[in-house]
Amino acid sequence: MHHLVHAFIKRFGGAQAKQRVWNTEFSAGKWDYLDNAHPAARDFVLDVIEQYSEDGDILDLGCGSGGTGLEIRNIYRLYLGVDISQVAIQKAIDALQNSNDHTRKNDYIAADIATFVPPGTYSVIVFRESLYYFPLRTAAKLLVRYSAFLKPGGVFIVRIHDAQRHAKLIRLILEKYTVVHARSEGELCRVLAFLPSPKPDNPGG
């Protein structure tokens, strides 16, 4: 029951309620396994991010405890991670202090990505397991709004761990945007990189 309540709040709750839930889960260590993954189990989304972010700036929306910004190769220019949980952001800052390789390039902000206004434009905007926490209509609006913060030629990168469960979100991306890179791992996990400009609704007209 606790799990169902948390899941409902994460998807439909207000910002403060969502923040409380995520803070509780990060404080309890529910997501610690993400930071302790074996090096041999490197997530293939990192390769996709690296492909599009060399000498570029990265905005990581829903960054959690900052794993993405520390796991990618140090080939980018700047990285900004944003998460609604202050607990997660503090974990990210603590981890950053133990990483000599990324310290001067990474920054983290606690904010609601539904309303966050980025301070600049980016080569890559990442939703690593975060976009599907929003209702489909809200997710669609987020993509449109954040399109304004991509540099020319920049891409969104979305990772989805369960393609069947979130098939409607994948369909939205495939139908509305120009996908430039698609990768899968196993039967369910998908990573899509796509351009910010939506496809025309009537390409033949």
Asked whether residue 55 is assigned to any structural domain, the reply reads yes
Q: From residue 77, how far is each of 11, 61, 129 by CA, in Å?
A: 33, 17, 23
* Claim: this prediction has a pTM higher than 0.75: yes
Asked whether residue 204 is assigned to any structural domain, the reply reads no
Name the domain count of the chain.
Answer: 1
Q: What is the pLDDT of residues 58-107, one digit of tens each?
A: 999 999 999 999 999 999 999 999 999 999 999 999 988 887 666 679 99
Asked whether residue 203 is assigned to any structural domain, the reply reads no
Q: What is the pLDDT of residues 32-55, one digit of tens each?
A: 777 665 555 789 999 999 999 999
Q: What is the pLDDT of residues 98-155, one digit of tens each?
A: 876 666 799 999 999 999 999 999 999 999 999 999 999 999 999 999 999 999 999 9
In angstroms, the CA 161 to CA 147 distance is: 23
pLDDT of residue 203: 45
Average pLDDT over residues 153-161: 96
CATH of residue 133:
3.40.50.150
| φ/ψ (deg, to 5) at 144 | -65, -45
Residue 18: give the domain boundaries. Answer: 2-198
Asked if residue 204 has pLDDT above 50, the reply is no
Asked whether residue 205 is assigned to any structural domain, the reply reads no
Asked if residue 191 has pLDDT above 50, the reply is yes
